[in-house]
Structure 1
Amino acid sequence: MVVAVDQVTKLLAEQRLEPGQRVDVLGDVLGLTLYYNSGAAFGLGTTLTPFISSFAVVACVVMVVALTRTTRPAWGLALGLLLGGALGNLTDRLLRPPGVGRGEVVDFFQLPSFPIFNVADICVVTGACLVVLLSLRDVPFRDPLPAAPPTADTAGGADGPGREP
């Protein structure tokens, strides 16, 4: 769902916005500005796009494995947001110009004194904050395993609990 919302909003931004021209949504607080980002977060590492793409692939695999192992809904939500956001931006890097693994990410949300970002970025940040919160609150990643049924040794011997031989 995250990837679909991310890609649809990017498509709409490309169809309705001109690169570099801000459209105010909430005055100076929120605007829309189409920007193509070849780097990582905050436009850093613009020459490292192939490395960023490779790292994103590895991160997605790790998150998929983690999602299959967690039994806690809160952890599933956090990891799902991280995975969806990573896949949204990875889709851009793989399918957009200038080429596979070097594609530019479409960004369009603009806040004052903050880099331009997209839905995938919102999901990555929200998922990361949830991971930190869950970790700080010691929320287990998995439900505890059920206790083993009592055996003859732990149930008081062959004669049953509480009986003397």
Structure 2
Amino acid sequence: MAWGKKKEEEEDDVDLESGEGAKAKKSKKNKKGKSKDAEAEGEDDGEDGGKKSSKHNRHRSATITALMETRQQASDQYAQAQKAERAYLAKKHASEARTNYTETKTHFAEAFSHLAAGFRGLWHVIRTLPHIMAHRRAEGKRKAELARRARAEERMRKLEEQLARDAEGAAGEG
């Protein structure tokens, strides 16, 4: 590489917080976790009282980035699945509603036609009611006449029997 830099020290990284591409140097860290640059500037744990140095690494590790990306993809897939589920249920319910609507419409059409037929029949019954009543009266009179005749015949039979007994009783006495 140019200017005597090693290949490991220079790399294209993306600053995730600002969203811009930047070339950054990877600093080598010692056992304490501080970079050589920070040691050169005289920063160590005792001076800051445990505070972070002003030059902290803003880049996330590849593992965290991959996990965040996986979580985001899963979230997007979940949202798409929910949307698809709502669309499926809406389609299913709409289909059921259309079926119910057509059946109900058919039932109401039949009900209204039957209601109309019922009212027409009622009108005909009302119009012919005098004839029906006259027929019932005539039938009642005929039955009453038959019953009266049967009673009269029964009376006549009993009277004839009575007369026959009286005639026998008078003939036997005399």
TM-score > 0.5, shorter chain as reference: no
The structure whose RCO (Cα within 8 Å, separation 6+) is larger is: 1
Q: TM-score range by the shorter chain?
A: under 0.3
Larger Rg: 2
